Amino acid sequence: MDKGYDDIIVKTISRLMIPFIQLYALYVILHGHYSPGGGFQGGVILGASIILFALAFGRETALEVFKEKVLLVLCGIGVIIYAGAGYLCLLSGGNYLDYGKAPFFHPPYIRSFMIMVVEIGVGITVMAVMASIFFALSRRE
């Protein structure tokens, strides 16, 4: 019933732009320790692309792609990734969130690698929370 924004221009431009917006969001998250950006900013851009999809093609279409339950689980998974990265450092005798001591990976770039893992966790949580709040607020009945 909800067919989204009834305009061919909006739908075509959204179809063209959304992949590039999501690619840029991934760049902002994964390159956050070398250039401006990081998990929070990239997660917001990723969430905005989902919201643009929902606005252009309709809430019901978007809910078929991004299920509300999956988004809710993703909210928790991001925090678990972050906290898990902290516990990983405990395994080999370091302090909590002391990235230099993480096992399985070895210097010299272990710290920047663990920062990237942590940023991915933040990005997943921010993206899922943004999309969940939008879907919860845009409910009709």
Q: Please, what is the Cα angle at 19 between 13 and 21, to 5 degrees?
A: 85
Under 8 Å between Cβ of 35 and 119? no
CB nearer to other proteins: pick between 14 and 127: 127
Least separation, in Å, of the C-beta of 53 and other proteins?
19
In whole angstroms, the minimum distance from the beta carbon of 58 to other proteins comes to 19
CB count within 10 Å of CB 140 equals 6
Q: Which two tokens stand for residue 123?
A: 């990005």
Min dist. Cβ of residue 134 to other proteins (A) = 10
Size of the site for other proteins (CB under 8 A): 38
5-44 footprint of other proteins as x/- string (CB under 8 A): ---------------------------xxxxx-xxx----
CA–CA gap between residue 116 and residue 16 (Å, rounded): 29
